[in-house]
Structure 1
Amino acid sequence: MLSGFGSGAVALVLGTAVVNRWFVARRGLVMGLLSASTATGSLIFLPAMAALAQAGGWRPVVIAVSAASAALIPLVLLLLPERPADIGQKPYGAADAPDDAPRGRAIDAVRLALGTLAGAARTPAFWLLFATFFVCGFTTNGLVGTHLISLCADKGLLLMQAGGLLALMGLFDMVGTTASGWLTDRYDPRKLLFAYYSLRGLSLMALPFLTFDAFSLTIFAVFYGLDWLATVPPTVRLANENFGERNAPIVFGWVAAGHQAGAATAAFLGGVLRDVQGSYLQAFVLAGVLGLFAGAAALWIGRGDREAVPVAA
């Protein structure tokens, strides 16, 4: 539970707040960079953590991750200002935009979060964003992040080989998600989401039928890695357009909760199907079908209908 609270408080949701506070121009590109670093870092470190687990069990992995996280605390306190105004700056790309980020007590933040959710939940845009991001979590962290190593073991690959495959996916995620941010600044985010979810779904349906040799797995790692978290920048932009810059980080926080719910569902369901059916075939085909549905649903998300969104001021 503590790990869940910690991971939910940082990364994607916090990144959205930071991007909206510090950037007016190039928001999509910066969100792509932050999203890519989140996924790429986790995937790149997996081989090292797999080696630690293989050599000494799970405790050295937990200690190493905890130590690395603790080492970041003084860096954040010393090097990351809270707001542009704290260092005499204005948001990047803003001519004379004031720093109007809300300042208040913790209880105010709780009321704002719940009030914003109550208003956003009355709009179709919120539920479409929530549903598509649920599928995003289902098809990334939950299924591939949790079960790909086990699937590779079923196919005769060693633990370190499977970890290397995830690391390769992480490297290409850096390229794909950054490029997605650049595209989000220029093109309709709904069409980008349609392409990302549909292509991801097709790749997941194809994976169980591969020969699992070096060539086929490399092709999958490149293709799927480019799409790992490419959905984040378009989703953030749609949240901004539908709910406004002040409320978008809060709304995206609730949407990101859908992502983690989807990941938890896939992590559990994938294991159940593996135990019952003896293979991951059904789990990956199901994930692929959900990806196709998410791609179609993304096209129905509205854009910029803020007057119909009764969220918190």
Structure 2
Amino acid sequence: MALMAEPPCASASANGRFSMATTEESVRRLGREAGWRTPLVIIVCGCLIGMLTFGPRSAFGFFMQPMSSEFSWGRDVFALAFAVQNLLWGIGQPFAGAIADRFGSVRVICIGALMYAAGLLVMRYAGTPLSLNIGAGFLIGFGLSGCSFNLVLSAFGKLLPEQWRGIALGAGTAAGSFGQFVFAPFSVALIDNFGWQPALIVFAVLMLFVVPFALVLSTPPSDTGSTAAAAPEQSFKSALAEAFGHRSYVLLVLGFFTCGFQLAFITAHLPAYLVDRGLSVQTGGWVLAAIGLFNIIGSLSVGWLSTRMPKRYILSAIYFIRALSIVVFISTPMTTFSAVAFGVVTGLTWLSTVPPTTSLVALMFGTRWLATLYGFAFFSHQVGGFLGSLLGGVVFDHFGSYTPVWWLSVLFGVLSALINLPIVEAPVRRAVAQPA
């Protein structure tokens, strides 16, 4: 009996078997269209985008004190803008991911980069809490949802063959950390020598370089995944229903909340916390730089480990180590050595949750709606980021101390370590259509 509606890639195969286009076949197709766009070039350009977009955002904590002093703001004003940024980044991520999945990634990344640059310019001229929220909150938040490393990792998942994927996800995440390593001391130097306003203008100009790099990450519209779980005919609505009806995905999403809470709180408030404890602003810069530098090691190592051991155990260990390091950090005397040591340990676990989380989503559901489904997981991450940043400012203004938020971070870390353990690492089971 003749096969019904056999796709072109199957009919063109030598033995006539039915098969969907794999990611490796997509790469070969792209290679024919643009021979220079090799996997290595794709990874390098994606990493540059991750570095440029994550770097300035990770240095925003250094702008809190000079801007608050100049405009006589409390820390809650800057904390609110940073919290809004995290929340809108999370809200926009699933939509940006869905658009990238449906129409390709280039337009999304370019528009996101332009919004990011515009937000930095508005932030530079902000003189009121409202204008600060428009620039640092609204524009940068939605801009990040379109051009951050999340879209880069999704593009890697679609464009790269299976054997490149694990290390590429680790490298893409590590690139964001390298941006933090570079931009933390760079921003301190710019602010000390030229002021916070010129520093923001420099950041805005650098953001424009994302546009040409984005051309390399062009993904075809409605690209299909390579795993058995991929379903090219699956609709957006059915993909969401399937994901949120899957227990392991829900547990993964819930655990990711803690990552956002801890990262946003530390990014926004650690520099001020160190100054409050008697250390210099420059020390805060080097602590954040240490976080960025050692997260390169952590992300690459976790990307490699994710292909060799259960990802749920990796995630559980990361959250537990974070919680333990915070307990030691806030319970011992504050010195430059202890602060940098905390930066080293935190760096090793900073963004290293991203490669196993992305890999688990791809493993469970394939890459057809990878950007979308990872986007919803990232929304949970950013809700945590919103609360971490906002609570840091509110709690400090009310109690004059960050201690309650530090201990809340410890509690969330332990809970996430436990939540990730029951995750089942297997493709979702789908009904297979039978021939008539």
- Alignment TM class, shorter chain as reference: 0.7 to 0.9
Superposition deviation, residue 6 in structure 1: 1.2
Alignment-derived partner of residue 245 in structure 2: 122
What is the aligned partner in structure 1 of residue 141 from structure 2?
Answer: 4
Distance in 2, Cα, partners of 1:209 & 1:260: 28
- Say whether residues 1:82 and 2:218 are aligned partners: yes
Counterpart Cα distance in 1 of 2:329 and 2:178: 21
Aligned 8 A contact 1:27 1:185 in 2: no
Q: Show the counterpart of 2:331.
A: 209
Match of 1:67 in 2: 205
Q: Deviations over 1:115-147 (max 9, x none)?
A: 53343222222321211111111111x111111
Q: Unaligned regions of 5+ residues in structure 1, if any?
A: 87-98, 103-110
1-side partners of 2:326 and 2:238: how far apart? 38
1:250 corresponds in structure 2 to 372
Residue 219 of structure 1, CA deviation = 1.9
Q: How does 1:126-205 map to 2 (within 5 A)?
A: 126-140=249-263, 142-205=264-327
Q: What residue identity is the alignment partner of 1:135?
A: T
**CA–CA distance in structure 2, aligned partners of residues 200 and 76 of structure 1:** 33
Q: Is the 8 A contact 2:310 2:425 kept in 1?
A: no
SS of equivalent to 1:205: helix
Larger relative contact order (CA 8 Å, sep ≥ 6): 1
Instruction: Between 49-58 and 234-243, report the one with greater CA deviation.
Output: 49-58
Q: Decide which of 347, 350, 368 is 1:225's aligned counterpart.
A: 347
SS in 2 for 1:215: helix
2:70 corresponds to: none
Rg (Cα) greater in structure: 2
Indicate how the Cα distance of structure 1 residues 122 and 215 shifts in structure 2: closer, same or farther if over 3 A, else same: same
**Cα distance, 1:62 vs. partner?**
2.1
Query: C-alpha root-mean-square deviation of aligned residues, in Å?
Result: 2.3
**CA displacement, residues 190-221 of structure 1 (integer Å, 9 cap, x when unaligned):** 00011001001111222222322122223212
1:91 alignment counterpart = none
Asked if residue 24 in structure 1 is aligned to residue 162 in structure 2, the reply is yes
Partners of 2:209 and 2:165 in 1: CA distance: 28
* Structure 1: distance between partners of 2:325 and 2:359: 25
Instruction: Give the distance between the partners of 1:13 and 1:75, measured in 2 at CA.
Output: 15
Cα deviation for residue 47 of structure 1 reads 2.0
Asked if 1:282 corresponds to 2:432, the answer is: no
Which string of whole-angstrom CA distances, capped at 9 and with x for unpartnered residues, describes residues 10-60 of structure 1?
233212322212231142221011011113313430222133334454322
2:164 & 2:290 partners in 1: Cα distance?
27
Q: Per-residue deviation at 1:81?
A: 5.2
Q: How many residues align?
A: 284
**Higher mean displacement: 210-219 or 50-59:** 50-59
Q: Partners in 1 of 2:305 and 2:402 — Cα distance?
A: 34
Distance 1:81 1:148 in 2: 34
Secondary structure of the equivalent of 2:386? Answer: helix
State the distance in 2 between where 1:205 and 1:12 align: 30
CA distance in 1, matches of 2:288, 2:214: 28
TM-score by length of 2: 0.61
Work out whether residues 295 and 347 of structure 2, in 8 Å CA contact, stay in contact via their aligned partners in 1: yes
How many percent of aligned residue pairs carry the same amino acid? 30
